[in-house]
Each structure stands twice: as structure tokens, then as C-alpha cells.
Structure 1
Amino acid sequence: MATNDIDTAIEQSHAALAAILKGDPSVYQALYSDAEDVTLGNPFGPYALGQQKVAATLAGAASHYRDGEVTGVELIARYASDHLACIVEVERGRARVGGGAELVSVAVRVTSVFRLELGTWKLVHRHADPITTPRPAASVING
């Protein structure tokens, strides 16, 4: 595995983040594998499994953002083998969120899993949630 190959996939995922903060899901969609085992978890709903559900979930997530930009990405950990790579990051940006008129800061913790398919690293799983600061134990109670 050439390190720069996975580096390119990571750079592309950061470009996809920039696009989604502007309301465009197409860049992320292009990074995903064509396989039916792809998954996506985002802050707006449950996990999506399969091409169609992932595409619809990406579109729904992108619809919540406008006029955004990436302000930073913090690499927490990176794991890679010959065929799988996992990246753990905190992504930060500014965007108009929902119907809001103001640009606001957003931050999500992200886990991205890439699989080497026919010589290209493809995204097979992405999970992003807004938990970037400590929370009390009661925050996990479903009530």
C-alpha cells in the first residue's frame, strides 16, 4: 500500500466536507464504493446501509448546510493495512445550518473507513456526530 494513495483519499474526503458544508453531497457520493455494504451514520438520523439509502442520507444531511467552509481538521488516529484504512478526525467548519441566517461554527467527530478496490481507496463507512466535548453519563439515556 502506498501511503500517498490513502493520503489522496483523505484529502478527497476533506474536499467532500467542504462541498457538503455548501449543501453539495455529490463529492462524498463519488468517494463511496459502489458495493452494497456501504454505511453512513450522521448527526441527523439513524445509520444508512446500501447505495440508495446512503445517497439519500447524504442528500438529506447536505440540505441542512449552506454557504459553509472548512476551518480545520484534526487527525486523532490513522490505521492502515493493505486493504483497509480507518481515519479518526474532528472536523470543524462554519456554515448556515438549517434555516439559520448566521454563519455558525460546527464540529463533528468522524470515523471514516476506506477499502482498497481495484487499486483505488473507496469510502465504505463514515460516521459523524457532534460529540466533541465531555458529556454527563445521563446523556446516553433514551428518554
Structure 2
Amino acid sequence: MPGTELDVMIERYHHALDAFVRGDPALQKELFSRRDDVTLANPLGPPVRGWHNIEKVMDRAASYLREGKPNTFERLSSYTGPDLAYMVEIERTHAKVDGSPEALPVSLRVTTIFRLEDDQWKVLHRHADPITTPRPAATIVQRS
């Protein structure tokens, strides 16, 4: 993604994700928009909209993680416009998840949308899920 300010934002975003997998959501929170249309779809629950909902979801998700190793990021696609940008990445790390005694591998498929707000890039939307390998079609069926 070209653009000095956006490159700096993405570097901060990746650094904040390293802190997140150690159980600290503070840096990640700083990067999200505070506007009403901000959204987050994390792998532990349904999508939420609005800063106050996102803050609660981030705190909950981070509480399940500790002692995470730095993430690696595989960029699959990206685009930058004058006031919107996106990137699709695979994030990989190892972390102690939900009280596990050992660090386990974690891989997420992530789409992040950034918006220029008051001359600063902010995260407008993040969607992360664990689908990083092919799966059978039956996995999308909800059973009662």
C-alpha cells in the first residue's frame, strides 16, 4: 500500500496485534475509529458495531490470550484510495489461548479496512476468522 502515513499506520497496527496476542488490547484500541459505523467481526463472536461494543469485544478477546509470539503477516491483497484502504492478510502467531499451558499455533484470515479521518488513518472494519485452509462445504451448515 503506497502512502507514508498509511504505511506508518499499518506498522502500528501490526505492532498492536503483537501486544494483543500477549493479552493487551490497549494499542489496538487506539487505532480504531470512534465513529458510529466502525465494525469488528472477530473469531469469537458475532460482528459488532459502534466503539463501545467494539471495546468490550476487544477486552473479552484479549482476556483469552497470553504470552503470544510476534505475528507474521502474509499480504494477499491491498488497495489504497484517497480516503479508504483495505488489506487482506493471513496472520500467524503462537499464543497461550484460553488458559492453555503451552503456546498453540493461531492462524487468522483477516480483512482490514482503513479510513482517513481528520488527516489520520483509522481502522473502520476488521474481520478475522480461522479459515486459512480449504474446508468441506458442510462446515457452513448450522445444525440445531
Q: What is the TM-score when the length of structure 1 is the normalising length?
A: 0.96
- Mark the runs of 5 or more structure 1 residues left unpaired by the alignment: none
Q: Does the Cα contact within 8 Å between 2:70 and 2:93 map onto a contact in 1?
A: yes
- Mark the runs of 5 or more structure 2 residues left unpaired by the alignment: none
- The CA distance in 2 between the partners of 1:84 and 1:71, in whole Å, is 24
Cα-Cα RMSD:
1.3
Aligned length: 143
Other-structure match for 2:76: 76
Other-structure match for 2:59: 59
Mapping of residues 1-143 of structure 1, within 5 Å: 3-143=3-143
Runs of 4+ in 1 over 6 A off after TM superposition: none
Q: What is the TM-score when the length of structure 2 is the normalising length?
A: 0.96
Q: How far 1:69 sits from its partner (Å)?
A: 1.6
- The CA distance in 2 between the partners of 1:89 and 1:8, in whole Å, is 17
1:68 counterpart SS class: coil
**Percent same amino acid among aligned pairs?**
44
Q: How far 1:71 sits from its partner (Å)?
A: 4.0
Amino acid in structure 2 at the alignment position of 1:10: I
Q: How far 1:50 sits from its partner (Å)?
A: 0.3
